[in-house]
Structure 1
């Protein structure tokens, strides 16, 4: 059996040790592995010893890597698994590391999910359905998701939907009221808000226009269309303008008003 002839501390990693067998460098181990197996000069190692020591060291290296990954922010178990898989650790090592992290309370998917939801609530940029989907992608169970999403009250959802909607409406007041409402609805759906919240929010979002405001929106868009089509015969460009403005959500009486005024 090979004999340990030298043990030296690595220059750049004082927590790792180089092991020499029969005067030749064989492998390195973590300090914890060194202590656990009581490795010392003159010790004989069987093939089984070598396999166990190196396997244990693989676990220690993967564990340390996971701890470093966790040092930046909380992670779900799936995120850690995927991270270790990218580092090409084998499944048995990964499973051991995940179990150890859980036992030492370095990971807790329920607390992770709650913290994630609280962060998203603070940002005010997403509805519960988007957050739910993100938690699913992070490997959180349905039970934990339900407990976490419950932190996001309907009142908070409505408040966030109104703020997001007002911001979008302010940038799109040139649109017709009907198209702007559709745009707001679709926008809030993509943000993950349920219809019940969207309907409440639309009652508060400032997108409705009086006739003068709607006329100004139509006039701005109609003028662009006029410049585009006025080289055509009058009946043809009028038809194109009418069709384009109608598709943009404007009422026929306002469209005809523009056509009549332009004709005059």
Structure 2
């Protein structure tokens, strides 16, 4: 049996208290507790504690400190269950204590993967150019279940996806390129797929895109690529063979055959 002889407030943390004990051989530091435990167990000078109770208080305080760390981690932004578990593991919290902390956080509704996923999707919609598939992938990487992630991204309106894709297309087309229009469209399709948009919304957004083709820019790109191909092949080929190599190269790059023929005729 040990008796509490003194309780002092810690200098660096006014919400924590040092407990001093006397086991019959004089006073010595026993342990420290948070204010919540001090109140819950009514710790006071003169109170006698069994060794088992001292062990219980130390264990509960350890859990409480880890819980407080988790709360601090949550204070910056919402977190998934996996993110919190990973954080506690990094802090070397015992697995059994991690479960206690997670149970408490869930009961207090401080962690909710479904709510996290919904808020995450809304944030991505308003602050990024990412599509549903990529957002779902991000959620799953954060530990959100696939079914919950799918439900969340289904809240991404098709109209907003379409508008976002159209803006990305217009931005790409406004940039001067040395590629054929067809090649630019193919590159845009690949880029939009990588950003997580579906083939359906990409197809709809690209419908009528041919009307935005700039013939002057297309010709400039063809001449640039054609001259480049001429320089590449003229060391080994000449005449018909050279023109044929250039023709094949330009066609693979997506230029229309009538424009290619026009270029070749201008170089004969």
Deviates more, 1:175-184 or 1:212-221: 212-221
SS at match of 1:24: strand
2: CA distance, partners of 1:204 / 1:211: 16
2: CA distance, partners of 1:206 / 1:97: 58
Query: How many angstroms does 1:98 deviate by?
Result: 1.8
Query: How many angstroms does 1:227 deviate by?
Result: 4.8
Q: RMSD of the TM alignment (CA)?
A: 2.5
1:203 paired to 2:207: yes
Note the 1:55-70 alignment, pairs <5 A.
55-70=59-74
Asked whether the equivalents of residues 238 and 259 of structure 1 are also in contact (C-alpha less than 8 Å), the reply is: yes
2: CA distance, partners of 1:16 / 1:222: 77
Deviates more, 1:37-46 or 1:213-222: 37-46
Query: How many angstroms does 1:135 deviate by?
Result: 1.7
Structure 2 counterpart of 1:147 = 151
Query: Cα distance 1:4–1:243, how it changes in 2: closer, same or farther (>3 A)?
Result: farther
Q: TM-score when scaled to structure 2?
A: 0.86
Structure 2 counterpart of 1:49 = 53
Any gaps of 5 or more consecutive residues in structure 2? none
Query: How many angstroms does 1:231 deviate by?
Result: 5.3
Asked whether the equivalents of residues 175 and 217 of structure 1 are also in contact (C-alpha less than 8 Å), the reply is: yes
Match of 1:81 among 56, 67, 85: 85
SS at match of 1:3: strand
**Deviation by residue 1:88-113 (Cα, 9 ceiling, x = unmatched):** 11222222222212222222222221
Query: How many angstroms does 1:139 deviate by?
Result: 2.5
Asked whether the equivalents of residues 18 and 25 of structure 1 are also in contact (C-alpha less than 8 Å), the reply is: yes
2: CA distance, partners of 1:142 / 1:215: 48
Note the 1:57-206 alignment, pairs <5 A.
57-171=61-175, 173-203=177-207, 205=209
Asked whether the equivalents of residues 169 and 184 of structure 1 are also in contact (C-alpha less than 8 Å), the reply is: no
Asked whether the equivalents of residues 162 and 205 of structure 1 are also in contact (C-alpha less than 8 Å), the reply is: no
SS at match of 1:125: coil
The count of residues paired between Structure 1 and Structure 2 equals: 263
SS at match of 1:139: coil
Match of 1:249 among 254, 258, 265: 254
Structure 2 counterpart of 1:223 = 227
2: CA distance, partners of 1:102 / 1:218: 62
Query: Cα distance 1:173–1:208, how it changes in 2: closer, same or farther (>3 A)?
Result: farther
2: CA distance, partners of 1:238 / 1:51: 89
Structure 2 counterpart of 1:19 = 19
Structure 2 counterpart of 1:30 = 34
**Deviation by residue 1:55-97 (Cα, 9 ceiling, x = unmatched):** 2112211111111111111222222222222111122222222
